[in-house]
Amino acid sequence: MKRYTLAEAEDKLIGLKGTTERDQYEFELKLELIGDMIQMARKERQLTQEQLGKLIGVKKAQISRLENNTSNVTIETILKVFNALDAKVNFNVKMLNKQVSLA
C-alpha cells in the first residue's frame, strides 16, 4: 500500500498547481486560516463568541461568520478582532528570491 506525503496527496486529489481547481483550493485554504486563527485566539482567551462580540461591539452571529469564513474579511476587521484579544498580527510576504517582511 503506497503512502503519500501531504503534498503528494494534495496533488493527486486536488490537481496539480497551476490548474484552476488547485488555485481555487489553495485560495480557499488560506482564507479558511483566517477564521481558524480567530477561533483559536478566542478560545485561547476562554471567551465565547458572544463575549468576543461584546468586546468589539458586534453580535455573536457576526463572530460565527468570521470564524467560519462565511464571507470575505477586511483587514480592518481582522485587526479589530485581534486587538480585542490582545494579540498581534503580522503579515509577511515572501517573493521568489528576495524576502520582504514587514511587521
CA-CA-CA-CA torsion sign (84, 30, 74, 69): negative
How many residues bind DNA (CB under 7 A)? The answer is 22
Contact set for DNA, span 36-95 (CB under 7 A): 48-50, 53, 57-62, 64-68, 70-74, 76-77
CA distance 48 to 102: 32
If one asks whether residue 24 binds DNA (CB under 7 A), the answer comes out as no
Nearer to its own copies, 1 or 103 (CB): 103
If one asks whether residue 95 binds its own copies (CB under 8 A), the answer comes out as yes
CA distance 53 to 19: 39
The three grid cell numbers given for residue 22, joined into one nine-digit string:
488547485
Cβ count within 10 A of residue 65: 16
CB of 84 to DNA, least distance (A): 11
Cell 470575505 locates to 72
Pick one of DNA, its own copies, none as the site partner of residue 86 (Cβ within 5 to 8 A by kind): its own copies
Pick one of its own copies, DNA, none as the site partner of residue 95 (Cβ within 5 to 8 A by kind): its own copies
